[in-house]
Chains A and B, each alone.
Chain A
Amino acid sequence: MKDNIVLQMKNIHKSFPGVRALQGVDFTLRKGEVHALMGENGAGKSTLIKVLTGVYSKDEGDIFLDGKEGPVAIHSPQDAQKIGISTVYQEITLCPNLSVAENMFIGRTSGIGQNWRKMNSDTEKILKSLDIPATATQQLETCSLAVQQMIAIARAVDMDCKVLILDEPTSSLDEQEVEKLFKLMRDLRSKGVGIVFVTHFLDQVYEICDRITVMRDGQLVGEFEIEKLPRVQLVSKMLGKELDDMSDIKGEQKAYERKAGSVPVLEAQGRVSDAGIKPFDFHIDKGEVNGFTGLLGSGRSECVRALFAADRVTGGTIKMNGKPVKISKPLDAMKNGIAYLPEDRKGDGIVGDLSVRENIILAQQVLKGFFKPFSKAKQYEIADEYIKLLSIKTASADTPIKSLSGGNQQKVILARWLFTHPEYLILDEPTRGIDVGTKVDIQKLVLKLASEGMSVTFISSELDEMLRTCSRLVVMRDRKVVGELSGDDLNQSKVMSTIAGGDK
């Protein structure tokens, strides 16, 4: 093995029932580099990482590690940790009901007995050195999602690793937090740590990475040096075809113009829920695409949840097409033609053990009523229709949704709500943690639905995506609406300054 190579994976194979997730994939990581692992949903990135960290056992292939003779055997995450491979996963895998310090040290102490005081003081030191706003004795679930993510990274970093794997670490962080993380990554790189960085944010890849390995459909596309691979090339390699969809989508939305005398599809006044937002007013017209924007925790999700009555509604009125309606629970909202794709796909969206088919029909079935189930044949017909329409990658309509990749799960949830034929569709972070191709698909779909007369509210933490898709943006700060932008004001700098608080 060459001196500067810290990790080499050769000819890795892995199959699941009905899916060949990895087919002869090679991967090489050098000392002191940040190496991006990129690919569409279902490309096999997560599987490759889980093989590397011992979560899955590989069917075939060898893994070599610097300083070890011959191939190493990794049977469990503990094995991986012992030989210096640490991971921070996309979804936080810490224990929410333990303290921060306990989470930092869990599974790392040897023998019995625990010096609690030392553990706490060590944790405080680490938190301070990384500038993480938490205390050692604080219960983890009382920290924000972003802070929890940073603690997970701090834990991995603290374990003297040679290989650090970051699986979508930035998807729930805001820009300043991402900057902090990048600073940390650069420090580690200069110390010779090899970092595998899995992300869907192209900007971040080009900001921090040295090399890119691209995968597609469980196979290796190639390894590239960052300077030699322009963005367009990267996207086309990931998608497996030459296309310029990213620019296609620009300029499709028109400036928002309120037609005189038109009645909004939905109009809310003083709407407020118990989730801690200030009462807000909101309206959306037929065929309009608008969005809520703001920093993480600004209350944008809470607003749309209040419209759908996903949280307990405590005040305000709603009119649908000019008629006052009472929406105090999700079913009321659904009956009034509102659909809501929630932000937390795993916790609020999918029903994991049920099949793709049952997940698709669920909402419409509830609307239809307890005593009127769809026949099996009809269910398959519907499921097949939407699997085809949204090109959902699944072995069959009977596959449990939990075994699909994140992007495909999201498409199933989208199918569920499209099947209710809503008048007003709320999409809360529909593109989080999914690949470029699906993102573009979803953006295009939103614009297509709007052109057919559906009203859509679109929330994304990527401002580019919002600007490309929405014709009006409601800006939020500190849990209240602070502005509304449309037409010429709809540009990055104006949105930023509104979020930041204007001239202050």
Chain B
Amino acid sequence: MQKNEVKKPNESMLSRMVRHQMFIPVLALVILAVFNLIADPAFFKITVGQNSSGNMVLQGFLISILNDGSELAILAIGMTLVTAASGGQDISVGAAVAIAGSVLLRILGGGNSRPEELAAPIIVAFLVSCLVAMLFGAFNGVLVAYFKIQPMIATLILYTAGRSIAAWINNNELPVITDPSLGYYGGFIPGVPIPTPFFIAAICVAIIFLVLKFTNLGLYTQSVGINENSAKLNGLNPQVIKVITYVIMGLCVAVVGLIKVSRISTINYSTIAKDIEMDAILAVALGGNALSGGKFNMAASIFGAYVIQFLTSTLYKFKVSSDALPAYKAVVVIVLVVISAPTVKEWFGNVTKKFKVKEVA
């Protein structure tokens, strides 16, 4: 093995740590954890209890963070790629989850809103919902890549129309699936005490890391995001690559749609995955990735997703109403944006340098 990184002798450990991309999300997690530890150590308690379907499962705030954060982590994968390649974000994610969930229910119910039994195997329904979500992703992608519409504006269309489309797919009815096997995906598999969404997220994360390792997805999306002209002259097709990232986003959306629908065995078109896109974008930002696109760190985004969920759970723990949540999260956004601003980074760099000089003296 060659020495890949030239370590600069005059750089202190502290400043190297501070410059690492994981620094901010880890710091945020530590602050949250310490805060909870002081306020109420019961936050970290994990108990074994019986859930509504009679399984012995793990319970506690940490488990619910793992559970809900997994949805966010899956969406953060797609959002990271979309951000990197197109320099913008997909705000239609929540609405698209509604569509994917609605398609899933439509296939499972076979047009019947109170089916006695499943009209199709869950895997078939899931694959169809994947296909539909990827098509909507491609729609967003084409608007962004070929019509050069700013991503937020392009995805505003589906953001606005998505939930109506979802309701229309089921003729405005709310199919209820009674088959218990659907409940496994958002709940627990009998005999397994850990929530299934965590395993689904783990599979998704494993897949994306394998894809990043064994294909050039990372290199291509970053090249396109950093310098589209140059990418083109190196034989890449920036349009196709951008569309691909939106299609991958669609795939992530379909997976979350399955989890969401499985949790309640039905759907609520106006509240399912509401505002989830903002959390997913926040996860990308918390991971230290530039929202203007280009270089990205996938692990940091995924880790960021769980930290966001940690924050949400902490706020719920302190009885913050769900209406007031966004205001608290806005504070986090402000802090994030300020500390990741180049001027602040430079200032911090100078401070650590001075610190180091004093140490030597």
Contacts and interface: CB of A to CB of B under 8 A. Distances in A.
Interface of A: 17-18, 308, 310, 329-331, 334, 340, 342, 344, 347-354, 358, 362-363, 365-367, 369-371, 373, 377, 380-381, 384, 395-398, 416
B2 A354 contact: no
Interface stretch (B192-200, B214-222, B259-267): B214-222
Contact of A380 (B2, B216, B226): B2
B233 A330 contact: yes
Given A353-B294, A365-B216, A373-B215, A397 B4 contact: yes
A377 B1 contact: yes
A18 B233 CA distance: 31
A370 B295 contact: no
B105 to A, nearest CB: 35
23 contacts: A17-B8, A18-B6, A18-B8, A308-B233, A329-B235, A330-B232, A331-B235, A342-B233, A348-B233, A351-B231, A352-B226, A353-B222, A363-B234, A366-B234, A370-B216, A370-B217, A370-B220, A373-B215, A380-B2, A380-B4, A397-B4, A398-B4, A416-B234
A18 B215 CA distance: 32
Nearest to B223: A351
Contact of A366 (B6, B8, B235): B235
B179 interface: no
Given A330-B232, A373-B214, A362 B223 contact: yes
B214 A371 contact: yes
A412 to B, nearest CB: 12
Interface string B1-34: 1101110100100000000000000000000000
Contact of A350 (B2, B227, B295): B227
A351 B236 CA distance: 13
B297 to A, nearest CB: 12
Nearest to A357: B4
Nearest to A399: B6
B216 A351 contact: no
Interface-centre pick from A330, A331, A349, A351 (highest chain B CB count, 10 A):
A351
A396 B222 CA distance: 20
A91 to B, nearest CB: 15
B229 interface: yes
Contacts, number: 89
B230 to A, nearest CB: 5
A279 B63 CA distance: 69
A339 to B, nearest CB: 10
B233 A340 contact: yes
B219 A373 contact: yes
B234 A396 contact: no
Contacts of A342: 233
Contacts of A334: 235
Contacts of B295: 353-354
Contact of B234 (A18, A330, A381, A384): A330
B2 A384 contact: yes
Given A17-B8, A354-B223, A396-B4, A366 B236 contact: yes
Given A347-B227, A353-B222, A354-B223, 19 more contacts: A308-B233, A330-B235, A331-B235, A331-B237, A348-B233, A349-B233, A351-B222, A354-B222, A354-B295, A363-B234, A366-B220, A366-B234, A366-B235, A371-B216, A373-B216, A373-B219, A377-B1, A377-B2, A380-B4
B230 A350 contact: yes
Given A351-B230, A353-B294, A358 B235 contact: no
B230 A349 contact: yes
Nearest to B236: A366
Interface string B147-172: 00000000000000000000000000
Interface in B224-264: 226-227, 229-237
A395 B11 CA distance: 14
Contacts of B222: 351, 353-354
Given A371-B214, A371-B215, A373-B215, A352 B8 contact: no
Contacts of A353: 222, 226, 294-295
Given A349-B230, A351-B226, A363 B235 contact: yes
B219 to A, nearest CB: 6
B330 to A, nearest CB: 29
Contacts of B215: 370-371, 373
Contacts of B4: 380, 396-398
Contacts of B236: 331, 366
Nearest to A18: B8
A354 B222 CA distance: 8
A362 B226 contact: no
A367 B11 CA distance: 39
Given A371-B215, A395-B6, A347 B229 contact: yes
Contacts of B231: 351
A348 B236 CA distance: 13
The 10 A-B pairs with the shortest beta carbon distances in the complex, nearest first, are: A331-B235, A366-B235, A396-B6, A363-B234, A348-B229, A353-B295, A334-B235, A351-B227, A351-B226, A353-B226
Nearest to A363: B234
Nearest to A395: B6
B348 to A, nearest CB: 14
Nearest to B244: A370
Interface-centre pick from A352, A353, A416 (highest chain B CB count, 10 A):
A353
B136 to A, nearest CB: 24
Nearest to B227: A351
Interface-centre pick from A340, A363, A365 (highest chain B CB count, 10 A):
A365
Nearest to B290: A353
A83 to B, nearest CB: 23
A354 B234 CA distance: 14
Contacts of B11: 17
A362 B229 CA distance: 13
B6 A358 contact: no
Contacts of A329: 235, 237
A365 to B, nearest CB: 6
Interface-centre pick from B4, B214, B226 (highest chain A CB count, 10 A):
B4
Interface string B111-122: 000000000000
B269 to A, nearest CB: 38
A48 to B, nearest CB: 20
A342 B229 CA distance: 10
Contacts of B233: 308, 310, 330, 340, 342, 348-349
Contact of B235 (A351, A354, A367, A384): A367
Interface-centre pick from A310, A347, A370, A416 (highest chain B CB count, 10 A):
A370
Interface in B183-224: 213-217, 219-220, 222-223
A218 to B, nearest CB: 16
Nearest to B349: A17
A416 B8 CA distance: 27
A66 to B, nearest CB: 31
B290 to A, nearest CB: 9
Contacts of A344: 229
A349 B233 CA distance: 8
Contact of B5 (A308, A381, A396): A396
A373 B2 CA distance: 19
A376 to B, nearest CB: 8
